[in-house]
Structure 1
Amino acid sequence: MLNFTIHTTTEVVFGRDIEKDIGPKLKEIGAHRVLVHFGGSSARSSGLLDRVEHSLFEAGLSFVELGGVEPNPKISMVRRGIELCQREGIDFILAVGGGSVLDSAKGIGMGVATGRDPWEFAATGTAPDQTLPVGSVLTLSASGSETSNSCVLTNEELKEKRGITSQTNRPRISFLNPENTFTVSKFQTGCGIVDIMMHTLERYLTAGGETDITDRIAEGLLIATRDAGRRAIADPNDYEARATLMWAGSISHNNLTECGRLRLFPVHKLEHELSAFRDEIAHGAGLSVLFPAWALYVMEHDVPRFAQLAHRVLGVEMDFSHPERTARDGILTLKRFFEEIGMPVHMAQLGIKPENYETLADNAIRTAGGPVKSYVPLDKPAILEIFRLAE
């Protein structure tokens, strides 16, 4: 087990009808003037935005709206939000939506507090040391941004997608009502299932020695997510399934499942290049295509761990004489699960063509500042081979 520090500071308010608590909770925290940040019209048409703003009003808090956040949140929207907050004297940002809205809110918060353009942090790999407090009202179980120290932004002019990691990125408070995910489409539910599992798998399939307690937490989360995911896709109004997915999303990315292990996230880094290249690619869809290919490529460097995953989580019988068979069967079993829940598993399904591979590999190397860190460094030939395995 490697040395680790875990720092989870987000207050989580979970369950039905919790929107009424938003105003009083934010007032208790010290908020006075709130930016209500959201995506498209669904936040309004569903009635959620009205419930949130009614709670703010009843608590005596003033607020300003900023909608229009798109998937793969854009730095241009973040810059608009920073200007609005400065002009309106905002002291708290409340994101109503999924991971894209949350990451946009985090970018705005760091920009207002530091007086710097957030893309400076993304481009240089540095971290902000302060932020305006951010809260969330979650509508999509996927990114885990409601409890994480991560923020991923897209520069649409440069066609680059980069992350900013800092403890200041963790939301101050997050309101998690599973009922707010009932209207999420089957495709987006599937994307969320993949993202939750990948946040766990990218912490599980990495160096770290013996970490049995962390492994068991991660394995239980993966099994619960798989089973609840099937139920949620079959019945979108299954409260318990939606609740499991929502809580799993939060735990999967708050660092609990990486204690004692090395965090590298190579598949996420490769996927960011896909969704930066084609903005319409959903993050979870890109991950479902790339993960099995990456796993097949690196499996030989940690056969026992891949075999453990296959046996404990995916129900593959352990072949003690040839554990590499168990490991490979596990990867293919997970790939079939992705297909079962309607996720793509081939590059062509994302609109990515073989003639795009060189550009994408070059972009990944440039963004990483060299080979992408993994079990072995992924240089350009390695990345190209992973793309070919994903065809």
Structure 2
Amino acid sequence: MKNFEYRSLTKIIFGKDQISNLERELEEFKVRKLLLVYGMSSIKNLGIYEQVIFICNKLDIEVYEEGGVRPNPDMSSVRSGIETCRTNDIDFVLAAGGGSAIDCAKAIAFGTKYDGDPWDVYLLKDKATSALPLGVIITLAATGTETNGNSVISNDETGEKRSVAYPFSVPKFAIIDPSYTLSVDRYHVIAGSMDIMMHVFEQFFSNTLRTETSDYMSMGVIKSVIENTSRYLAGEDGYETRANLSWASTIGLNWILGVDKVGDWATHRLSYPITKEYGITHGYALALIFTSWIRVALKYNSITMIPRLEIIGDMIFDGTDYSLVPDKLDELFSEWGAKVKLSEELKDVTLEEIDKLIENALALGSVGTVIEIDKEKALEIFKNSLGW
């Protein structure tokens, strides 16, 4: 186990009707001018927009908007929001919606304080140093972005998708009302569940030794996601099922599970160009790559992979042999209706197109820590998923 310092910077306000506490939180930060960042229509359909405006009017807060943020948010929304903040002296950013709206809001918040092109920050050419304070109202159980400093942004002009993380991008508060997720359809529930699991697995798979406490915590979150997703698919949908998935999403990426070890994150990095190029929803793109990554990582680093796969086999799949864990995961995701092979999704893809995906994924250098994924190993992973 490695040395660490851990502090949760986000005040979590969890449960039914917790939006009523937004007034208290905005008063605490003495907000006078607020930028509301949101996606398409969900926050209006759920009544969130109306409640936010009512509370802000009550507190005499001027509200400016950056609406229409799409899934896989583009830099155009970020730049538009930054311009609004600078022009109107915004002192607080409030994001309402799923992970895309929140990630966009994080980029706007630090981009407002940054003198250069914020895309340079995502290209790791420079670093942001501060941000406007940010609060969030989450409507989807998936990304865990509500309590961490991560943000993932796309750039249509360059055809890239990149991520950064800063402690000052961590939201000051997160209102998590699982009732808002009850309207999320099956496709996105499954996408969210797989995303949660991948966040946990990306932290769990690590070369760091003797991390049993967080390892077993991780397996608890995975078991809960599988159980509650299965309940949902069996027709046992409702507040409690969604509440468990919402809480798992938050725990899955507030870093309590990974603070004691060095995580991997290769699957995420390899999946970004797939999402960007083919419009495949993030959780489903991860499922196309993950078990192929496992198989290749097992080939090159069995010392790390075997004991960790044994834990999954024992605790998640009832004593399944470690070598069969990738197959069991494929079976699980397939039962949920997801495709688990690139050969199922990209039937006519060419080697040249795969090379371009890999070049994009590795544009900032090799990825992964369990094994270092260079171009050769990335191609091996893609070929495994394609059945080549």
Give the TM-score normalised by structure 2. Answer: 0.94
Q: In the TM superposition, what is the alpha-carbon distance from 1:276 to its structure 2 partner?
A: 2.1
Partner residue, 1:291? 290
Contact 2:306/2:322 (8 A) holds in 1: yes
1:344 aligns with 2:343: no
CA distance in structure 2 between the partners assigned to 1:32 and 1:236 by the alignment:
44
Give the 3 Å change call, closer, same or farther, for CA 233–57 of structure 1 in structure 2.
farther
- Give, as a single letter, the amino acid of the residue that structure 1 aligns with 2:375: K
Correspondences of 1:196-235 after superposition (within 5 Å): 196-235=196-235
2:315 is aligned, of 302, 312, 315, to 312
Contact 2:265/2:367 (8 A) holds in 1: no
CA distance in structure 1 between the partners assigned to 2:343 and 2:45 by the alignment:
35
Partner residue, 1:189? 189
Partner residue, 1:35? 35
1:330 is aligned, of 317, 325, 342, to 325
- Give, as a single letter, the amino acid of the residue that structure 1 aligns with 2:220: G
Partner residue, 1:13? 13
Q: In the TM superposition, what is the alpha-carbon distance from 1:259 to its structure 2 partner?
A: 2.6
What 5-or-longer segments of structure 1 have no aligned partner?
318-325
CA distance in structure 2 between the partners assigned to 1:259 and 1:315 by the alignment:
28
1:361 aligns with 2:365: no
Q: In the TM superposition, what is the alpha-carbon distance from 1:126 to its structure 2 partner?
A: 4.5
Contact 1:307/1:327 (8 A) holds in 2: yes
Q: 3-state DSSP class of the match of 1:124?
A: coil
Q: 3-state DSSP class of the match of 2:123?
A: helix
Contact 2:205/2:263 (8 A) holds in 1: no
CA distance in structure 2 between the partners assigned to 1:7 and 1:154 by the alignment:
29
CA distance in structure 2 between the partners assigned to 1:283 and 1:78 by the alignment:
20
What 5-or-longer segments of structure 2 have no aligned partner?
none
- Summarize deviations over 1:100-130 as a string: whole Å, max 9, x none: 0000000000011223332111112644221
How much identity, in percent, do the aligned residues show? 29
Contact 1:125/1:164 (8 A) holds in 2: no
CA distance in structure 1 between the partners assigned to 2:206 and 2:173 by the alignment:
30
CA distance in structure 2 between the partners assigned to 1:314 and 1:33 by the alignment:
51
Partner residue, 1:320? none
Contact 1:21/1:55 (8 A) holds in 2: no
Q: In the TM superposition, what is the alpha-carbon distance from 1:88 to its structure 2 partner?
A: 1.8
CA distance in structure 2 between the partners assigned to 1:234 and 1:87 by the alignment:
51
Give the 3 Å change call, closer, same or farther, for CA 32–233 of structure 1 in structure 2.
farther
Structure 1 residue ranges, 4+ long, deviating more than 3 angstroms after superposition: 233-237, 348-352
- Summarize deviations over 1:127-165 as a string: whole Å, max 9, x none: 422100111110111111100121111111111111111
- Give, as a single letter, the amino acid of the residue that structure 2 aligns with 1:274: I
Q: 3-state DSSP class of the match of 1:6?
A: coil
Give the 3 Å change call, closer, same or farther, for CA 48–233 of structure 1 in structure 2.
farther
Point out the more displaced range, 16-25 or 232-241: 232-241
Give the 3 Å change call, closer, same or farther, for CA 293–230 of structure 1 in structure 2.
same
Partner residue, 2:378? 383
- Give, as a single letter, the amino acid of the residue that structure 2 aligns with 1:342: G
Q: In the TM superposition, what is the alpha-carbon distance from 1:71 to its structure 2 partner?
A: 0.8
- Give, as a single letter, the amino acid of the residue that structure 2 aligns with 1:287: L
Partner residue, 2:149? 149
Contact 1:92/1:134 (8 A) holds in 2: yes
Q: In the TM superposition, what is the alpha-carbon distance from 1:48 to its structure 2 partner?
A: 2.1
Give the 3 Å change call, closer, same or farther, for CA 349–98 of structure 1 in structure 2.
farther
Q: In the TM superposition, what is the alpha-carbon distance from 1:307 to its structure 2 partner?
A: 1.4
CA distance in structure 2 between the partners assigned to 1:78 and 1:33 by the alignment:
18
CA distance in structure 2 between the partners assigned to 1:22 and 1:366 by the alignment:
41
CA distance in structure 2 between the partners assigned to 1:237 and 1:95 by the alignment:
27
- Summarize deviations over 1:289-323 as a string: whole Å, max 9, x none: 11011011112422111111121122234xxxxxx
Correspondences of 1:268-283 after superposition (within 5 Å): 268-278=268-278, 280-283=279-282
- Give, as a single letter, the amino acid of the residue that structure 2 aligns with 1:223: K
Partner residue, 1:56? 56
Contact 1:228/1:244 (8 A) holds in 2: yes
Contact 1:128/1:168 (8 A) holds in 2: no
Q: In the TM superposition, what is the alpha-carbon distance from 1:55 to its structure 2 partner?
A: 2.3
- Give, as a single letter, the amino acid of the residue that structure 2 aligns with 1:285: Y
CA distance in structure 2 between the partners assigned to 1:225 and 1:281 by the alignment:
22
1:87 aligns with 2:106: no
Contact 2:262/2:369 (8 A) holds in 1: no
